[in-house]
């Protein structure tokens, strides 16, 4: 079956670092994605990992371990505007499709 797990909620302090974990069990794998979604808005793309290791993009980094079925999103120097839901998604590796399987999302609240 297809299963993607991430914590439902997290709270962190402005200026701090937070790590959002995601574990997955899927029948196929062709990349792992992180999206950010502010309340009432559409998801927006943050990062993509297909090989093991760390991808850094400004204050955001994403890590992947395919053998462990594990990824994390690291947010540094947290700002109030980072309060949002963070969605982990795996691209289905079966067949030539771009289908994404999403976790239920992690709602991050950044406090002053």
Strand bridging mode 106-111 / 9-13: parallel
Under rule CB under 8 A, residue 96 binds other proteins:
yes
Please work out the total of residues on this chain that contact other proteins, with binding judged by CB under 8 A: 21
Show contacts with other proteins in window 46-65 (CB under 8 A): 48
Give the sheet arrangement for strand 53-57, strand by strand.
3-5, 18-25, 70-75, 60-65, 53-57
Contact status, residue 25 vs residue 11, Cβ threshold 8 Å: no
Taking residues 12 to 51 in sequence order and writing x for each that binds other proteins by CB under 8 A, - otherwise, the string is: ------------------xx-x-------xxxxx--x---
Q: Which of 57, 68, 99, 111 binds other proteins (CB under 8 A)?
A: 99
């Amino acid at each position: 079956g297809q299963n993607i797990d991430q914590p439902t909620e997290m709270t962190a302090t402005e200026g701090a670092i937070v790590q959002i974990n995601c574990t997955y069990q899927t029948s196929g794998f062709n990349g792992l994605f992180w999206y950010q979604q502010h309340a009432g808005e559409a998801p927006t793309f943050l990062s993509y990992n297909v090989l093991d290791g760390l991808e850094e993009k400004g204050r955001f980094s994403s890590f992947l371990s395919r053998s462990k079925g594990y990824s994390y999103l690291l947010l540094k120097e947290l700002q109030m505007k980072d309060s949002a839901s963070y969605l982990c998604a795996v691209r289905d590796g079966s067949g030539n499709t771009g289908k994404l399987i999403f976790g239920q999302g992690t709602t991050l609240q950044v406090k002053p």
